[in-house]
Chain A
Amino acid sequence: MSTQLKILVGMIFTLLTCVPLGVIALNDLGHDLGAVPKNQATGMDQRAAAFDGRAIEVGADLFGQYCYPCHGKRGEGIPQVAPPINRKDLFDGRRAKEIGWAGSIAGMLKNTIAAGRAVQARPDLYSAKMPTWSQEYGGPLRPDQVDALVAFVLNWQAEAPEVNAWPPAGAPPPTRTPGPTATPGPTPTPAPTKAGLIAVCQNVPAPYAGKKAPFKFDDKAVLAAGKQIYDDKCAACHGPLGKADGPAAAALNPKPANLADKTFVQGMPVDCHFYVISEGVKGTGMAPWKSLGDDALWKVLIYERSFTGLQ
């Protein structure tokens, strides 16, 4: 090949490279270049919308794992347990004004999910206490998961119904919002019963198998510390005495484990128990609580075991 020909070919390909680059320029900078009308989405806008949509999908998945036991599958709330969140006044600013929140609605949601509610708004109406969900506050969710949940909750905004979630004291409590709540279908998923849990316990993986408690089972200080964490994080579903009768238990399917049931606890050796509270149980409402740290979990475990007296 002669020198000139090589130079020519090189120049042609250099110019050709401008074609795909131009395609990207139109895609990414269509609005700035004036090539795409302002009311039309550029390729980059579509990508941004796709990731926003994806965050909502992730949020929906998390809501279906962690939030529905108290707030209902579609955020319609559960009387006596937790208020509806699919309701208009939450999104149009009325609720924010009521509680004196000066920031954005998204900020209010994020703050509530991440940090929980230190003080219950109306224990007479809703008995469950909003726990802290973000890992920053000792909960199980990462910050990006909290953001995804906010995106999902905010997606109710457009069609949220008007619900009076906060009737004055003495008035009859709000009833359940009508509408489809449970996933229809001929055969609902059977709850993983004791057999299911035993299956979990037959297969305790490596770091957990054979673990032993680092504390004594009758240590009063440990029991007191465990009770504190239990009441805060576990009692909403498992009940104050482990009888699976917490306010949120009603809505759960599968039902939470009855920690006061001797046969049940017998089928769950200590290492399996620790495994379950660390990693959670897939397909159930049981969340992984690993982020609390081994010490705290062992204390909770010892307190939970005190319901049956089994070690």
Chain B
Amino acid sequence: MFERKASRNPLAAFGDKMGERLPAGLKNLVAVLGDLRTSEGRARLRQQSRETSFKVADDTLRAVSAGMGIADVRAMFRGDPPVEKPNPRYKVFTNAFFAHIRPRYYEKSSTKFTHTFGLGFLSALTFVVESVTGVILMVFYIPSQEHAYQSMIKIITEVPFGQLMRDIHRVGAELMVIFVALHMLRVYLTGSFKHPRQFTWVTGVILLILTLGLSYSGYLLPWDQLAYWAVTIGTSMAKSAPPKEIMGYISNLLLRGGDTIGQNGLLRFYLGHVILLPALAAILISVHYYRVSRLHGISLPAGEEESPDPAVRKAAKGRLDYLPEILTKELMWVAIGVFAMVAFAVFAFHAPLEHHADPFRTPLHTTAPWYFLWIQGMLKDPFVLPILRGIRDFLGVDLVQFYDSPAIQGVILPTVIFVILFAVPYIDEWWDRFWGRAPSRVGKNRKLGIAMGLMAVLLVILFSYFGTPLYAVSAPPAVEIGQEFMPEECVLPPVPLLPDNCGEVRRLGYANLPAGTYDLAQYGAAPANATRFQALLVNLQQAVQTQADHAKKSSTQGLADAQGFFIVEEWQTNLKKVTLRITWTPREKGDTGAYERIIYLHKDSAYE
């Protein structure tokens, strides 16, 4: 007789009946469908699915974090102690590829802000920011002579957030050089390069060179006058590498891709900037950081490390776990750093873009980028040459001829400086051994080293100043007046935080320049409630008058009887022609006695 079981699920009975012939998955499905019929079964299902989804999430997180489950991640971000044993927060560093380079913990005192100022971290942060913004810019940039400048304009005027990306990329580039240089200075001053971290220092110096190379190769890419001439000046040094006929020729050819920078040079700089140097930097940063974090740890403050009090030494070495203390701290600084860079780029800074590169038109006062000004300063050399000349005159030993060449000053000397930089930790060790001293990182035991370091910094700053046009460069006086008031280039759009290089005339703008011919002699002094335009004329007249006064006192300087005229003409729809004309009495053969600087101003060009 067929017996019906009321409580039993008929489907389950069906399943039973089919017995082992059904696959397990299907059997489970049948069971689930059966459970759905009763409230008790549904409760069981809910419970099961909660457990399963938690397990899936937990497993996924464990896989991604290489060892930490949900409960522990939660505890970590709440600042609670680990919930599992053994501590899963340490497992991450042995199991996961990306975390592998990070240490399980930092020693407590090494994380003091005033010890490191976070400069290494900030250098790495700027590298990441540069990579991200750089890849975005690459989408719109065409590395060709014909299109490079046009693609810059496109990035600024057509691509949403394009100008911002360019500005951040530029800010990041400058910051990266600054951070890397300061990082090196800090490592030097705290003696952190000493044994056992000598080779870490060497990788750091390589990174300094790579950073300079990255920044410099990017300098050319906008293909404007600023880029073209700064790089032309820089690469001209390669040309004088000795022996000039072989090394100079080859290195110039390799860098510029020809006699002068053209399409080949641009492509070389581009590929160096986006592939070669970033790849090398990524590898070197990994090596550098691996040594810092996994091999030796960040150096402790010297005073604590070498303290006679064992308690201090022990406290300094206390552990600060990477998870969560260091991680959250780093994320916080990333947020602050990115905010600072974005805000700065939006409110206070725009990357300059001058006129299209023109190999036939050398701008007045071309300089190398600021971080190479010291080399340019060495070429002008206000120090060594006069000393050598003195030696020649008094002692008869002529070193001037030997020293006074671009090969020595522009190539050999900088190379020697970098070689010394590489050797610093080894020289330092040798010096200690020479005097039979125990190596020490404490400042008071390294007075000479620290003094030499600070001296080097001062010299770099001083020579950088010599490298600027402020020092020992001047065009004829009339040209200087033209350049001051109506320079060849004006960075667009205005750059609020950099020195204004647009000159008064452009800053006054199209609207404030009434058409007419103005004899500057009539503007000796500013009339009461002078307009900005009148003030400009007065300033011009004063500049001209200064030169005329100079000429009265000296027979070679200044401009005799200098007279100035300022002419504004309506030239076209929304376009004015502005002429500054200075005439004087010529005193030398070949002096024409006249100078004219003409610029055109369009209503929309927004130099104001």
Contacts and interface: CB of A to CB of B under 8 A. Distances in A.
Q: Do A and B bind each other?
A: yes
B600 A57 contact: yes
Contacts of B577: 60, 183
B157 A56 contact: no
B519 interface: yes
Contacts of A13: 332, 335-336, 338-339
B133 interface: no
Nearest to A207: B259
B522 to A, nearest CB: 12
A158 interface: yes
Interface string A35-73: 000000000101111111110111011001000000000
B23 interface: no
Nearest to A158: B573
A57 B575 contact: yes
B112 to A, nearest CB: 13
B135 interface: no
Interface in B109-151: 146, 149-150
Interface stretch (B25-33, B39-47, B524-532, B588-596): B588-596
Given A152-B572, A202-B590, A9 B332 contact: yes
Interface string A134-147: 00000000111100
A50 B339 contact: no
Contacts of B157: 44, 47-48, 51
Interface string B331-350: 11011101100110111000
A159, A189, A283, most chain B CB atoms within 10 A: A189
B588 to A, nearest CB: 9
A76 to B, nearest CB: 12
A293 interface: no
A283 B482 CA distance: 14
A143 B492 CA distance: 22
Contacts of B161: 24-25, 28
Is chain A's interface secondary structure helix, strand, loop, or mixed overall? helix
Contacts of B600: 56-57, 60-61
Contacts of B77: 3-4, 7
A132 B161 CA distance: 40
Contact of A185 (B79, B146, B492, B565): B565
B593 A190 contact: yes
B401 to A, nearest CB: 20
Contacts of A185: 517, 565, 567, 579, 581
A266 B604 CA distance: 49
A18 to B, nearest CB: 9
Interface residues of B, number: 68
Contact of A17 (B338, B563, B581, B601): B338
Nearest to B157: A48
B175 to A, nearest CB: 16
A218 interface: no
Given A10-B335, A28-B161, A74-B571, A47 B156 contact: yes
A280 B358 CA distance: 14
Nearest to B563: A187
A60 B572 contact: yes
B594 A189 contact: yes
B567 A184 contact: yes
B86 interface: no
Given A10-B332, A14-B335, A24-B346, A196 B590 contact: yes
Interface in A176-216: 180, 183-187, 189-190, 192, 195-196, 198-199, 202
Contacts of A195: 589-590, 592
B587 to A, nearest CB: 13
A53 B603 contact: yes
Contacts of B601: 57
Nearest to B492: A50
A117 B150 CA distance: 27
Interface in B556-570: 563, 565, 567, 569
A279 interface: yes
B546 interface: no
Nearest to A287: B360
B463 to A, nearest CB: 26
Closest 4 CB pairs of A and B: A53-B602, A199-B590, A3-B79, A20-B346
23 contacts: A4-B78, A6-B328, A6-B329, A13-B338, A16-B339, A20-B346, A24-B161, A28-B161, A49-B604, A51-B157, A56-B572, A57-B575, A60-B571, A60-B572, A61-B600, A145-B356, A155-B572, A183-B579, A184-B517, A187-B565, A190-B592, A190-B594, A195-B589
Given A28-B162, A47-B156, A47-B493, 6 more contacts: A57-B601, A57-B602, A58-B355, A155-B573, A184-B569, A279-B360
